[in-house]
Amino acid sequence: MSAPLILLKGVTKSYTRGKQTVPIFERLDMTIPTQDFVAIMGPSGSGKTTLLNLLGGIDKPSGGEIVFDGKRMDNLDESRLAGFRAGNVGFIFQFYNLMPMLTASQNVELPLLLTKLGPKARGDRVKTALEIVGLSDRARHKPSELSGGQQQRVAIARAIVSDPKLLLCDEPTGDLDRETAGEILSMLQTLNRDLGKTIVMVTHDPEAARFAKRTLHLDKGHFSEKDLAA
Amino acid sequence: MTLIDLVRKNLFRKRLRTILTLVAIFVAFVIFGVLATFQNAINAGVEVAGADRLITVNRINFTLPMPLAYATRVAAVPGVARVAHAEWFGGYFQEPRNFLVAFAVDPKNYLDIYPEYIVPPAQREAFLRDKTSILVGKSVAEQFGWKAGDRLPLKSNIYTQKNGSDTWDFTIAGIVAGNEARVDTSFVMFHYQYLADTRSFGDGTTGWMILKTTDAKENARVMREVDALFANSAFETETKTEQAFNKAFAEQLGDLGFIVTMIVGAAFATILLIVGNTMMLTVRERTNEIAVMKTIGFTTQRIFGLVLGESMLLALIGGLLGIAFAWLISFAMAGPLSRFGPIAFSWDTAATAFVLMAVLGLLTGLIPAIRAMNTDIVTALGRK
């Protein structure tokens, strides 16, 4: 197995609702090797999305350690976490979350505005990302002019354009029909297999999970593992 | 695409709303630009007033006369370098609506005391030589199309001639220009002696005196001594600096500064609410998008800058359009309203407008920007 990209050591997470403290995880351990493609399944409220938020550095654990590529990230301040996300993580959401006033290529370019790349280098990267997702001919279209599947491809292009090591997908096919969902999941498989992206995907759909190398079942803050790709 | 493009695209994504907001800002800046220009015109006399010039008027009211002999006595007061006198003629051309600011003056002293009035030497000589000649201010000459050599019959709403006529015939000796744009040239001036020789009443009196002092530091003492000369007489005087006199004269119309401040203040308070509300609405609508931007790595400072940039750009576009339109209006008003003073859009007004744009952009964008900056990603994406 490859070296771990992400390590969770004794991670606890709880939320406060009114006077009540609601525990999500208690001493959760997890290892995600580089170039892994892991699906996380579980019932609603099991903590799937919270886990994804912790891995992506958009939420902080209440305790324990999260190590990314050998460096602790749970103790980074807000500004450094933003930098961590920009440089290391690509996010793919269920409802695409594209900017409606921007064209497909401008949406893809958005993360690159945070880099020091010049206009030409940015343009080249955007072109490549759109080619990978097969949407070169839709570069000038706005999200409202694209189908759901095409919008999700633009979102994938946006997620990979800055060449992150990790892709976090939150129900990426939850809003798509079966055929389009299959195309998107195949694309994620390609990104994992050919480009070496480590992918963590939250899904309710066992069919979607079959595209991953392995599936982790999360329930009441604990994992049970079945390696479907074996 | 750059971050500025992103600000621009965000600003114009709801075009109608943005245009309506821009119209509100535009109107406020037009109001500001026009009123400030008008106020500048009225106050021009105050700003260009000579520091070493004093005005002596009748203590009861400046419209009442005083003995002409006062000029000689005042000239003898230590610290007084020169004295001129002037009389309000109440003049108009052909019809009362063609009202003119017309003075009957002591010509040589008057022109010497006001070096900011520029008259070509030949025209000046012609004026001083001919008692029935008249000098016309440049803005009046342009308004009526008059030139040197023209015959000019003027009527007075105060005086009639001894022969019963209400018309004085003049020959235009020359045109008076200002040595700078803000010098008011919306007047005509002629020989006091012509008026004194022909009018049916008012013998031996004049309207006010203009005193040039040897040094502005002497002003306070000269004012005291001049007024003391005529204390307890039938014609007591009140002497003020020219600046104070012009200011009091301008404020006969009301405290223009206060009026302008109130109107502009009301206009800006209104657009502050409109634009502030629009920006709040905009940010609230985009909570999810802001969360996505933060997710992909935009820092809180960058989000703050983008939202604030939007409100600044909004204020700048509306403000610049408004000020440009105000400039056009003031340009068009310069002729018809020249009697109120030199109507000209000043750089000071433009600079103040620019500051107002920045303050407006800042005030309307600050709270929405802080709100955007503090957007919690997890909450906004509904992921808890």
Average pLDDT over residues A124-128: 95
Which residue on chain A is closest to B298 by alpha carbon?
A82
Where along chain B do its domains lie?
3-45+254-380, 60-235
- Residue B3 near chain A (CB below 8 Å): yes
Q: Are A88 and A165 in contact (CB under 8 A)?
A: yes
Record: contact B1-A102, CB cut-off 8 A: yes
- Residue B380 near chain A (CB below 8 Å): no
What pTM value is reported for the model? Answer: 0.71
The secondary structure of B94-115 as a DSSP string is SSTTSB--EEEE-HHHHHHH-T
Place of tokens 């502009």: B264
**Structure confidence at residue A24 (pLDDT):** 87
**Structure confidence at residue A195 (pLDDT):** 92
Element of type H or E holding A104: helix A104-109
**Which residue has better confidence, B40 or A128?**
A128
Average pLDDT over residues B151-165: 93
- Nearest-CB residue to B296 (from A78, A85, A170): A85
Structure confidence at residue B384 as a pLDDT band (50, 70, 90): very low
For helices B300-333 and B287-295, give the axis angle rounded to 10 degrees: 130
Greatest alpha-carbon span in chain B: 100
**B91/B89 Cα distance (integer angstroms):** 5
Residue B111 backbone dihedrals phi, psi, to 5 degrees = -65, -35
Nearest to B312 by CA among B241, B363, B263: B363
Record: contact B295-A79, CB cut-off 8 A: no
A123: amino acid identity, one letter:
G
Record: contact B300-A113, CB cut-off 8 A: no
Count of positions (residues) in chain B: 384
Instruction: Check pLDDT > 80 for residue B174.
Output: yes
Counting beta carbons within 10 angstroms of the beta carbon of residue B60, is it exposed (0 to 12), middle (13 to 18) or buried (19 or more)? exposed
**B68/A138 Cα distance (integer angstroms):** 90
Instruction: Check pLDDT > 80 for residue A188.
Output: yes
* Chain B positions in Cβ-Cβ contact with residue A49 (cut-off 8 Å): 383
Instruction: Indicate whether A211 belongs to any domain.
Output: yes
| Residue to substitute from B295, B298, B302, interface A, most A β-carbons within 10 A | B295
**B242/B57 Cα distance (integer angstroms):** 11
**Structure confidence at residue B36 (pLDDT):** 85
| Residue to substitute from A52, A53, A62, A94, interface B, most B β-carbons within 10 A | A53
Average pLDDT over residues B112-120: 93
Average pLDDT, chain B: 89
- Residue A223 near chain B (CB below 8 Å): no
Q: Which region among A43-47, B64-68, B290-294, B333-337 has the lowest average model confidence (pLDDT)? A: B333-337
**Structure confidence at residue B383 (pLDDT):** 43
**Structure confidence at residue B381 (pLDDT):** 84
Instruction: Indicate whether A1 belongs to any domain.
Output: no
* Chain B positions in Cβ-Cβ contact with residue A114 (cut-off 8 Å): 296-298, 302
Record: contact B297-A106, CB cut-off 8 A: no
Nearest to B319 by CA among B23, B44, B4: B23
According to DSSP, the residues that pair with A25 across neighbouring strands are A13
Question: Terminus-to-terminus CA distance in chain B, angstroms?
Answer: 33
Record: contact B300-A79, CB cut-off 8 A: yes
Q: Which region among A73-82, B41-50, B285-294 has the lowest average model confidence (pLDDT)? A: B41-50
Which residue on chain A is closest to B13 by alpha carbon?
A101
| Residue to substitute from A53, A94, A101, interface B, most B β-carbons within 10 A | A101
Q: Are B110 and B210 in contact (CB under 8 A)?
A: yes
Q: What sign for the dihedral angle of Cα B311, B317, B320, B323?
A: negative
The distance of Cα A43 from the centroid of its chain, to the nearest Å, equals: 19
**A127/A196 Cα distance (integer angstroms):** 20
Record: contact B293-A110, CB cut-off 8 A: yes
Average pLDDT over residues B123-141: 94
**A110/A107 Cα distance (integer angstroms):** 5
pLDDT above 70 as % of chain A: 97
What does the angle CA A126 – CA A132 – CA A133 come to, to the nearest 5 degrees?
95
- Nearest-CB residue to B299 (from A79, A97, A110): A79
Q: Is A138 helix (H, G, I), strand (E, B) or coil?
A: helix
**Which residue has better confidence, A223 or A86?**
A86
Q: Which region among A66-70, A109-113, B269-273, B366-370 has the lowest average model confidence (pLDDT)? A: B269-273
CATH number at residue A151: 3.40.50.300
- Residue A117 makes CB contacts below 8 A (sequence gap 6+) with A125
- Residue A15 near chain B (CB below 8 Å): yes
- Residue A60 near chain B (CB below 8 Å): no
Cα–Cα separations (whole angstroms), residue B359 to B201, B269, B314, B318: 58, 12, 12, 13
Q: Are B233 and B66 in contact (CB under 8 A)?
A: no
pLDDT above 90 as % of chain A: 75
**A215/A212 Cα distance (integer angstroms):** 7
Instruction: Indicate whether A120 belongs to any domain.
Output: yes
Question: Terminus-to-terminus CA distance in chain A, angstroms?
Answer: 13
Number of domains in chain A: 1
Q: Of chain B residues 295-334, which have a CB less than 8 A from chain A?
A: 295-302
Whole-complex ipTM? 0.91
- Residue B289 near chain A (CB below 8 Å): yes
Q: Of chain B residues 131-190, which have a CB less than 8 A from chain A?
A: none
**Structure confidence at residue A220 (pLDDT):** 79
Average pLDDT over residues B208-219: 92
Give the range of the structural domain holding residue A48, as residue numbers without chain letter: 34-57+78-226
pLDDT above 70 as % of chain B: 93
According to DSSP, the residues that pair with B102 across neighbouring strands are B188
Counting beta carbons within 10 angstroms of the beta carbon of residue A102, is it exposed (0 to 12), middle (13 to 18) or buried (19 or more)? buried
Average pLDDT over residues A69-93: 92
Instruction: Check pLDDT > 90 for residue B149.
Output: yes
Average pLDDT over residues A152-163: 94
Structure confidence at residue A67 as a pLDDT band (50, 70, 90): very high
Record: contact A78-B300, CB cut-off 8 A: yes
Instruction: Check pLDDT > 60 for residue A228.
Output: no
